[in-house]
Each structure stands twice: as C-alpha cells, then as structure tokens.
Structure 1
Amino acid sequence: MGFPITAYLSMIMKRLKKLTSRLTQSSTEAKPKSLYDIIGGEGVTRQLCETFYDVMENDPNAAELLAIHQEDMSLTRQKFFEFMSGWLGGPQLFVEKYGHPRLRARHLHVAIDDTMVTQWLYCMQRALKQTLPERQHQELIWSNIQPLAWHMKNQDSGSSDSQSRG
C-alpha cells in the first residue's frame, strides 16, 4: 500500500511501451505507436469498455461489483473509456478532462476487497475475450491490468461495507 500510484502507473506505461515495441518490431510496414493503435484505436477501445460494463450489468458473477455502482452508468462508462484510451497509449482524454487519474484515491470512497477485484477482473477478462480477436493482444492487456486492479484493493476480504446503488 506504500507504493505511490504515480510511480506505479509510470512503471506500467513503460512496460506497455516496451511490450508494444516488441509486437511491432517484426512488421515492415509503418509501426503503430501504441497498443491503442495495435488493437484498433478508438472504436475497439470504446467497444472493450462498453463490453466490460455490459458484462458487469448482466452477469450474476459480477453482482456485488454492480451493486457499488450508480444506477445510471453512462458517465462511468465514458470515464472508463477516457481512462483506457490513455492507459493503452492513445489520446489522454481522462487526463485532459480531470487531471492525473489517481485511481486509488478516486476510489477510496468504495470498499474494494478481494471479491471486488476478482469480479472486476472477471468482467475485464470476459470483455477482452469478446472484443479482441488476437489472443496475444488479450494477454498483453491482461498481464498489465491485473496488477493495476489488485493495487486498487483497499480492504481486507470480508470487511467490505459496500455502498448500495444510488
């Protein structure tokens, strides 16, 4: 819990750039500049984010995670797309609108325990599989988003006093 989020996000972004570079080295064509470009840019990133929330809203395996969200998730969906756009190396839409993500600080009002993280990762894994046809792309995002998700944990298991839907 003592690892600063800015250092953590910086480390993840460097890792993503390095891995993206490896993916594009074999290509003789113009090299995409980011994972955002490699997976299909804005359209695919938006679809990934929409699918993530569709899974959360419709899959009973994510019921507790859904319960901590507001009834109308249109703004949440949009903010997630804006964050993921920048996280994947595309336009820094979230930063331009709201400043540094400070993800952990922005989520401290919500009790996030093992169950919440596991359900969030469940939704993301399903969204990746449904949205990205290339397994290599799925695995690249998955391997980098898991540590970020676990970094969001702010409660021990069983101590979650989750907010009800508002």
Structure 2
Amino acid sequence: MNLQDETPYVLLGGEERVRELVDRFYDHMNELEEVAPLREMHAQSLRVSRDKLFKFLSGWLGGPGLYEAEYGHPRLRRRHMPFPVTEEARDQWLLCMKKAMDEMSIDPKLRAFLDNAFLRTADHMRNQS
C-alpha cells in the first residue's frame, strides 16, 4: 500500500467500501448507548445523514466529489455550528468511526492514516468546550 501513489478512496476499495464504512458508522450510532447524545443531534431517520456522509467522504478520501457537486463546498465547521460539538460529541463520533473501521479489513498503514485524518477533522469541528 502506498498513499503517495493511490488515493485513500481507491485504497479503501472505492464506492462500495465507503458506503459500507458509512453504514457501519451509523449502525453503531443507532446501537451504542454511550453515543446517545450524539444520536440525538440527528434526525430520527438517518437516511439523509448516511447519504451526505457517503458523498462527503467520497470526495474527502480522493474519490468523486459527489458532495460538492450536489451541495457546494462542505464548509464543515459552518454546517456544524448549529450543533453543540463538544469534546464528548467528538469522541462519540470517533468511537462510531473506530468501531466501523474495526469491522472492516483495512490495511494498517491506511488505517493509521484514516485514524489521524478523522481525529484532526473531528477535533476541528468542536465549537464548545
């Protein structure tokens, strides 16, 4: 695996695997009691959230810019300002993503890259102490 020659999107396995990651992520958000406060920030149906995260991650990982094509620039911090993104919420989000990735066979180098990238991005979303 070489992150210099291929995008994380390709290395992960493309569209099918990004969708799998997103589905596993939201399945954990629905099922884990310890992330209930995070789940409560979302609509009852996660269909739209699943679709938006899939489209965002596709481009963020170096694949097709599906989110941008439909919604424009992500402006992540701005779009998350209406929600209280605390350290606790960040950690709950990261727990769901960690568990989703744990269930998938991801190359260790790619996994380390993704862990770091998700942590940096999730931490950047914090808007409350």
TM-score (norm 2): 0.94
Structure 2 unaligned blocks of 5 or more = none
Say which of 7, 20, 31 aligns to 2:3: 20
Aligned positions, number: 128
**Superposition pairs of residues 84-99 of structure 1, within 5 angstroms:** 84-99=57-72
Task: Give the structure 1 partner of residue 100 of structure 2.
Answer: 127
Q: What is the 5 A alignment of 1:43-122?
A: 43-122=16-95
- Structure 1 CA distance for aligned equivalents of residues 36 and 81 of structure 2: 20
Q: Deviations over 1:15-74 (max 9, x none)?
A: xxxx710xx4xxxxxxxx311011100000100011000011001121111011110110
Please state how far the C-alpha of 1:132 moved relative to its aligned partner: 3.3
Which letter does structure 1 place at the counterpart of 2:119?
A: Q
Identity of paired residues, percent? 35
Aligned partner (choices 4, 7, 11) of residue 38 of structure 1: 11
Unpaired segments ≥5 residues, structure 1: 1-18, 25-32, 157-166
Paired residues of 2:56 and 2:65 also in contact (CA < 8 A): yes
Contact 2:3/2:110 (8 A) holds in 1: no
SS at match of 2:77: helix
Contact conserved, 1:68 with 1:110, CA < 8 A, in 2?
yes
Residue type matched to 1:59 in 2?
A: L
Q: Contact (CA 8 Å) 2:12, 2:106: kept in 1 or not?
A: no
SS in 1 for 2:42: coil
CA contact (8 A) 1:45 1:85 kept: yes
| Deviation string, structure 1 residues 85-141 (Cα, Å, up to 9, x no partner) | 001000000000000000010011111111100100111111111123322222111
Larger Rg: 1
Following the alignment from structure 2 to structure 1, what is the Cα–Cα distance between the partners of residues 109 and 102? Answer: 11
